[in-house]
Amino acid sequence: MDPIHQTIQDIARQVFTTPDLVLTDETTANDVERWDSLTHITFIVEVEKRFGVKFRNAEIARLQNVGDLKKLVAKHQAQAKPGRASA
């Protein structure tokens, strides 16, 4: 399991209070019992804090599943590296 996936899964287990939760790239909010609009905000904020990134509202709105979130984290991390221009 890649480090981004592992961290997102750890955050999800904490936010959704489900210690044995296993996420796949295809996992959506509909697949997680405690994933509602309030926990979604908490989840996204925790992901931003843990990875040191900030998502735009439009980016969040386009997320369809955990795989999309992983790609978005990776994109923002790549943009934040020294010598890289931010979009």
Q: Over the stretch 21-64, which tens digit does the pLDDT of each residue have? A: 999 999 999 999 999 999 999 999 999 999 999 999 999 999 99
In total, how many domains does the chain have?
Answer: 1
Examine residue 25 and state whether it is found in any structural domain, yes or no: yes
Q: How confident is the model at residue 67 (pLDDT cuts 50, 70, 90)?
A: very high
For the segment 72-78, the average pLDDT, to the nearest whole number, is: 96
Domain containing 74 equals 3-80
Tokens describing residue 68:
């999309």
Tokens describing residue 56:
């735009």
Tokens describing residue 9:
């899964």
Provide the whole-model pTM: 0.90
Write the CB contacts of 21 (distance below 8 Å, at least 6 apart in sequence). 9, 12, 13, 32
User: For residues 23 and 49, is the Cβ–Cβ distance under 8 A?
Assistant: no
Judge residue 66's burial from the number of C-beta atoms within 10 Å of its C-beta, 0-12 exposed, 13-18 middle, 19 or more buried. buried
Q: How confident is the model at residue 81 (pLDDT cuts 50, 70, 90)?
A: confident
Q: How confident is the model at residue 83 (pLDDT cuts 50, 70, 90)?
A: low
CATH number of the domain bearing residue 27: 1.10.1200.10
Examine residue 85 and state whether it is found in any structural domain, yes or no: no
For the segment 62-84, the average pLDDT, to the nearest whole number, is: 90
User: For residues 35 and 29, is the Cβ–Cβ distance under 8 A?
Assistant: yes
